[in-house]
Amino acid sequence: MRRLQKTEQADRQEMASLEDKVYLGAHSVTDGESTVQNGVPFVDLVLARDNLNLAFKRVRRNKGAAGIDGMTIEQLSEYIYKHRDELLESLRNETYYPKPVKRVEIPKPDGSTRKLGIPTVIDRMVQQAVVQVLSPIYEQVFSDNSYGFRPGRSAHDAIKKVTSLYNQGYHYVVDLDLKAYFDTVNHDLLMNFVQQQIQDPWLLHLIRRFLTSGVMNGQLFQKTTTGTPQGGNLSPLLANIYLNELDKLLTSRGHQFVRYADDCNIYVKSKRTGERVLRNSTKFLENSLKVTVNRKKTTVGSPLRLKFLGFTLGVDRNGAHPRPHGIAKQRVKQSLKVMTGRSRSISWQQLMKEIRQKMRGWLQYYGIGKLKKFIQRLDQWLRSRIRQLIWKRWKKLKTRYRQLMKMGMTAEQAKTNANTRKGYWRTAHSKTMCYTYTNEKLERLGLINMSKTLQLIQNT
């Protein structure tokens, strides 16, 4: 919530200067459902000056890669200044056609890849303008149990809800996994769901064009008959609209559930109930929503073992509490291991910066859980990795001798320790390195103290 408030404040502070540079619309309107009820056409809401300027600013702040036209964020302002009237006219008279999205694939931790679609910066701005108009409307109909890609809600809120449900006696979870959800959304069903709240032909046509704009996979154009490509500004909202039908079904049947985008967990009090709910939910998802349930990953189990948004639950005398799942711990340790690999040729300053950026983000996310002991162990392990790297970089005997002398050893001590036959890892744990490169000295060199950082995060 604090981040959302800061974002809104920043938007207001920069609005005046932005409007002077990029005067997009002809007039401004008041956002919200009341303007729709009062009969303001959606074309005027989307193309309102304030709405388009805010969309421009948010796209610029989010940065991101160029689409298939090669236009960068930095070039967007100049383009709009020159082609403002032309862009607005094409949108208003429905001659605006979005360009195909650029297909990119990013590796996933399990070895597979995730397909992303990168729209052009102009299309991203238009999509964002549409989202800003539709979001207040759909926020009134979305379920309170949905947390993904919604203003004022976060993964932390979802995890707190999960913890609360376990403490209420819901000790079994139906963990639903949808296979390639964003790529398999049925366009006709989605548009029908959108029309439950929006009947404006202009806006419906625009949304349909974004859905069917196609994909450029290298030099090959592919039609898009299904899916809402991840990477677009409009995709998260449309994905929530689609799965809101599942939310309504679960709510009508009195189920307790938490959904974050396509990750949905349904909480029950017995395994038998969970298996029945799983069968019914799978039937609805596959028959009514035309998406595929991944039966290999979908299961009924305990929240103390299963992973949800990177977390699992632990239990002590005070009840349940969140903690990072074992897989999340393994992955962060593996990332640090790669960063501190002995074969990397990288400056100390850059290495320390990479580690700080990685771990501050990781601790900010997982800091709501209990992980003090894990971080203490990780701190010790990382310091040993750094000491090992230091020793490795002192390749020659004379370099080790000279450096140990600088660290306060006598000539005899430096000579003895420089000639050690111990391996790198064993030397990193020896008195030679632990006494010369103390924890405090490593911090002065820029190494993050994760235990202190975690304490600061949890105390704020």
pLDDT in tens, 266-289: 999 999 999 999 999 999 999 999
Q: Tell me the mean pLDDT in the region 13-23.
A: 41
Q: What CA–CA distance (Å, rounded) separates 205 from 92?
A: 12
What pTM does this model have? 0.86
Does residue 13 have a pLDDT over 70? no
Q: What does the pLDDT read at residue 34?
A: 35
Q: Tell me the mean pLDDT in the region 401-428.
A: 84
Which residues are 226's β-sheet partners? 186
Which residues are 256's β-sheet partners? 267
Does residue 433 have a pLDDT over 90? no
Q: What CA–CA distance (Å, rounded) separates 11 from 152?
A: 16
Q: What CA–CA distance (Å, rounded) separates 115 from 11?
A: 31
Q: Please provide the size of the chain in residues.
A: 460
Place of tokens 């729209």: 119
